[in-house]
A = this chain, B = another copy of it.
Amino acid sequence: MLDLCLLGTGGMMPLPNRWLTSLMTRYNGSNLLIDCGEGTQITLKQKGWSFKSIDIICFTHFHGDHTSGLPGLLLTMGNSDRTEPLKIIGPKGVIRVVNGLRVIAPELPFEIEFIELEDDFNRIDYKGYQIEAYKLNHKVTCYGYNIIINRTGKFDMDKAKAADIPIKYWSVLQKGDQVFHEERLLTPDMVLGEERKGIKVSYCTDTRPIDNIVIHAKEADLFICEGMYGDPDEDNKAKEYKHMTFWEAAELAKAAHVKTMWLTHFSPALVKPKDFEYVAQKIFPNSFVAKDRQTITLKFED
* A interface residues (Cβ-Cβ under 8 A, vs B): 12-16, 37-39, 41-42, 45-46, 62-65, 67-69, 71-72, 75-76, 79, 96-97, 100-105
Contacts and interface: CB of A to CB of B under 8 A. Distances in A.
A73 to B, nearest CB: 9
Contact of A75 (B13, B39, B45): B13
A16 B40 CA distance: 11
A181 B71 CA distance: 58
Given A71-B64, A72-B68, A16 B38 contact: no
Given A14-B41, A38-B69, A41-B14, A63 B104 contact: yes
Main secondary structure of the interface of A (DSSP, over half): helix
Contact of A68 (B46, B62, B104): B104
A38 B69 CA distance: 7
Contacts of A97: 103-104
A77 B281 CA distance: 36
A46 B13 contact: no
Q: Give the 4 A-B CB pairs with smallest separation, nearest first.
A: A100-B103, A38-B72, A68-B72, A64-B104
A38 B36 CA distance: 12
A14 B103 contact: no
A103 B62 CA distance: 9
A16 B46 contact: yes
Contact of A104 (B39, B46, B67): B67
